Amino acid sequence: MEDKDTLADFLRSARARLTPADVGLPLNLHAAARRVPGLRRDEVAGLAGVSVDYYARMEQGRVTQASDAVVNALAEVLHLNEAERTYLFSLLSTSTGGRTQQRRRTHSVRSSVRTIMDSITGQPAFVLGVGMDVLAMNDLAKLLLKDFTQGAGLQRSLARWTFLDPAARALYLDWDDVACDVVALLRHDARSHPNDRALNELIGELTVKSDEFRGWWSQHRVWKCTFGLKRFVHPIVGRVDVDYETFPVPGEPDQQLFVYSTQPGSTSSDALRILASWRTDQTDDAALESVR
């Protein structure tokens, strides 16, 4: 898809998500007769300080570059988050030429990063790359989620697993929220790596095989994962609530280290300790069998 089409779809989708009340416009007696969902073009244009014709040409793909002041105004009016604002700048700003620099993905994780990840005992940790490829995991992350390091190609994608593996739907207590965020993360990656064959193959497969993915993808939401809460129902230890933080890997702009943590003394903390002990017991049993 060309940038002008991506820009038009993004603006229309962002506009459709808002109501007049969201942006402080008064409701009138004719609100029920509105012919479009969300805001009208003239409302967005007026709030952003541009002409209706100029904004309409943006949504028609006839304006592909604008000043940073206009982009900032549109981002404010459309209530874009930080990732969406950056995304709009990459599509429209004259300071970037309306383009984003294509980056080549890396598949390997430095040994020093692996050492740090493995040293995080008692808490799951893993490294994600483009397309939510799981590039490395510590042992507890493999037990809580799945051992993606045993897969190859698209089988290592956390995004693909989330949508196409029934185990993921059972594991995530808030699957709908998690899956919707996954789509927004892939949209972010697709802008940075528009010609990445594996990423495009992943998006194509999910579009064909998942109605939910197809619906959320059409909304053009963009998100960059930073921190938050994940709630799991694990088949071995039951309910586990974790806070997660993400840390950029220096020198690798497309890699992020994810660390899950639990509140000390909580049932979730106990559950992770039991899960780690369960793995130790399994390993000891296997070792014992090997020498018998």
Residue by residue, DSSP assigns 133-175 as BEEEE-HHHHHHS--GGG--GGGGBHHHHHHH-HHHHHHBTTH
pLDDT at position 180 is 94
pLDDT tens-digit series, residues 213-262: 999 998 888 878 889 999 999 999 999 999 999 999 998 989 999 999 99
pLDDT at position 86 is 84
pLDDT at position 263 is 92
pLDDT at position 82 is 81
pLDDT tens-digit series, residues 13-56: 888 888 888 888 776 644 555 566 688 888 898 888 889 988 88
Say if residues 70 and 89 touch (Cβ distance below 8 Å).
Answer: no
Distances (CA, A) of 268 to 39, 149, 235, 276: 43, 25, 14, 12
Percent of the chain with pLDDT over 70: 86
pLDDT at position 157 is 97
3/1: higher pLDDT: 3
pLDDT tens-digit series, residues 167-209: 999 999 999 999 999 999 999 898 888 888 999 999 999 999 9
pLDDT at position 19 is 83
pLDDT tens-digit series, residues 114-167: 999 999 988 999 999 999 999 999 999 999 999 999 999 999 999 999 999 999
- Torsion sign across C-alpha atoms 51, 57, 60, 64: negative
Rounded average pLDDT over 62-88: 86
Helix, strand, coil abundance in the chain, percent, nearest 5: 55, 15, 30
Can you list the domains of the chain with their CATH numbers? 3-92 (1.10.260.40), 111-288 (3.30.450.180)
pLDDT range class, residue 102, cuts 50, 70, 90: low
* Residue in the structure block whose two tokens are 């002409």: 51
Rounded average pLDDT over 83-104: 69
Say if residues 100 and 191 touch (Cβ distance below 8 Å).
Answer: yes
Say if residues 20 and 73 touch (Cβ distance below 8 Å).
Answer: no
Closest CA relative to residue 179, chosen from 158, 203, 148, 151: 158
Q: Tokens at residue 15, please?
A: 């506009």
pLDDT at position 139 is 94
pLDDT at position 292 is 28
Model confidence at 79: pLDDT above 80: yes
